[in-house]
Copies of this chain bind each other. A is one copy, B any other.
Amino acid sequence: MQKTAIKRPKTNMEKKGSRKDYAIGIDIGGTNTVFGMVDHRGEIRYRGAISSRKHDDIVSYIDELYEALTPAIEHVGGHSNIRGIGVGAPNGNYYNGTIEYAPNLKWQGIIPLADMMQKKFDLPTALTNDANAAAVGEMQYGVAVGLKDFIMITLGTGVGSGIVANGQLIYGHDGFAGELGHTIIIPGGRFHPGTGAHGSLEAYASATGVTRTALEFLDKDPNQPSLLRDYPREDLDSRMVFDCAMKGDAIANEVYRYTGEILGMSLANFVMFSSPEAIVLFGGLTKAGDLLLKPTKASMEKNLLPIFQNKVKLVFSELKEADAAILGASALVWELKK
């Protein structure tokens, strides 16, 4: 099966002057599904979103998505101008178009999403892991243009990843490569309720992980004053930790230092695997900027063998939050065999 390459070749349709110049890109997140109608230059011409959590039943979810996309399809002159649909989803499998046992989605087991979409929309549909889609987006339209070896790390509710080596996404033998959020970095460490693992990166370097670290630090030293104590425990989230850190709160700052230390150690391990030219960080946690970037970089460099030190660019995505995933998902469409 052909792998996603860096360059989008001109499709036969385009060469023949066909009007199938649009692709639908869909990013299914744990909370929301965002979508865009993307033209062949990578411009998002229409955007929309629906909830990923409203429907227990995948059929009703696809029905709502179909309704939400109808105006988008009309916006570009109808179904006949659209070449296909690309979907990025957690645990999405590129080889067989299924979503398999995604812990953060309502639909459990194996969901043949690409087939279902294809039938509902009467359009060819490709599917991949959401972080892989984001990596393709960066490669085609973002900070990774021209790079043949890089790793995309998404730091959101969870931690996802897409790995590009030799100019190709690494899918592995079964389509599931690149689950770096689930690699173990602290053996016997923090429990991850979604997977049952102890000490996986996601338990620390996700938005959820940052909140848990903050609560742990507050409990560890109950007499140390902190702005974080002004919030009810159960409402505390990574956004509040960020706000308090910006106001100079010592515990909140320590939370980012600790998060960066663990993330940086993991990144060092990833570098010693595939020796990428860059690591692109993406997602909600990156809003913390240097608060997160500085300790992460320091820890990564410290844990690298000398031959790897001071070589890897550690950068934030510059694409708008949802755009990388929509663009990346839409880019899958140009790979589809007609």
Contact = CB atoms under 8 A, between A and B. Distances in A.
A265 B149 contact: no
Given A165-B170, A187-B185, A180 B273 contact: yes
Given A187-B185, A187-B265, A265-B187, A305 B179 contact: yes
A265 B91 contact: no
A177 interface: yes
Given A166-B3, A172-B149, A308-B176, A270 B273 contact: yes
B187 A186 contact: yes
B100 A178 contact: no
A184 B265 contact: yes
B170 A272 contact: no
Contacts of A168: 166
B307 A272 contact: no
A309 to B, nearest CB: 11
Q: Which of A148, A170, A186 has the most CB of B within 10 A?
A: A170
Contacts of A274: 163, 170, 172, 177-178, 273
Contacts of A265: 184, 187
Nearest to A277: B173
A185 B183 CA distance: 10
B179 A172 contact: no
A146 to B, nearest CB: 11
A185 B184 CA distance: 8
A91 B272 CA distance: 12
A184 to B, nearest CB: 6
Nearest to A93: B307
Q: Which of A101, A149, A177 has the most CB of B within 10 A?
A: A177
A311 B179 CA distance: 15
Contacts of A176: 275, 307-308
Nearest to A177: B275
A197 interface: yes
Given A179-B272, A180-B272, A195-B305, 9 more contacts: A101-B307, A170-B273, A173-B277, A177-B275, A183-B269, A183-B272, A183-B273, A184-B185, A197-B303
